[in-house]
Structure 1
Amino acid sequence: MGSVAIMRPKTQCEQHRDSLQSGNGGVSLVGAFIPQCDEEGQYRPQQCHGSTGHCWCVDSRGQERAGTRTPPGAPRINCDEPVLPKTQCEQHRDSLQSGNGGVPLVGAFIPQCDEEGQYRPQQCHGSTGHCWCVDSRGQERAGTRTPPGAPRINCDKPVGFWSNGISL
């Protein structure tokens, strides 16, 4: 006695994938993103674009989760971990790095963030060599700017310890 296969209706992911694969007379468009579905027909938590190499995490509806996109060659992120919203420093840095079609403007200052995404206490302009201390919002602390080649100052000292960048 043979087994009977019961066909389940196609899931949203399978319909999405199949519509893109057969949308052009049965020929998928070269370079088009085709969503990846798991064995149950659900969106795989991590989607990767075969042509560009970019990967990102998606929710159960296949919508990209903000802040999860990685460029080709970058370490892939764990899509099962919750995504923390970007900090002010990370948003500031990323807006400057991607504001010109993904290419930072030559000579533009790009803020440096620490491992927790906060502004590093000392910021330095890569092109000019000037360094200065900032507060937790990334605002320059008065009297802390040093010219290129000058000894760096300790930005962990309380406000009022500087006069023209020299420790008092």
Structure 2
Amino acid sequence: MAQQLTGVFIPQCDADGNYKPVQCSGSTGYCWCVNSMGQEVAGTKSPPGKPPTNCVAAAPPKTKCEQERDSAMAKRRIGFFIPQCDADGNYKPVQCSGATRYCWCVNSLGQEVAGTKSPPGHPPTNCVAAAPPKTKCEQERDSAMAQHLTGVFIPQCDADGNYKPVQCSGSTGYCWCVNSLGQEVAGTKSPPGRPPSNCVAAGNQTCFVTEKNQCSCVFGSVLLYEYFLHES
């Protein structure tokens, strides 16, 4: 506002200092929706004389990074770490603390990659090289989260990036067992309010043939049973 230029756009903020969901230009009369960073939401601009778009309905659900960033910003504590998110709401590969000036690599969940922290004055680690390749579960989870669609199923992965034996839909409440490839095990789906099936007993296992013509079946990293195949 100190510029005092005719026609310059002045962002509108709420009582907490956040961007109001609807922003309007006093000079052009156009209105549009913005996200928590003040960036215009595509397809929401309305001309003068028309009611502004329903910005609550237009705004996609916030990602994990956006939720943590907005929560940290709302606390307004000096030295408090604020996650950095990219334009799609994902964690940026390199995260830095404004207070300590240390930088480090993170995975797709925002978790620090061990051994990547660099002190002030040192170039940050090459996070692309430091990050291990994503597993099938991680790729599908990240792809589902990037869609920002209400009700879309998001696979649940464990700390090693493998599919969790029990998968549940946040929108329907149904749960079911999956194998190591994330494929549903038939007959294991349970409706909301009922405990999920015992996925070990349900056959959530992976079997493979070894070089000794031996069939081994495992659940995760646990050997369940093995036997030798008969020669044909």
Which is richer in strand?
A: 2
Short-chain TM bin:
0.3 to 0.5
Superposition TM-score, scaled by structure 2 size:
0.36
After TM superposition, the score normalised by the length of structure 1 is: 0.48
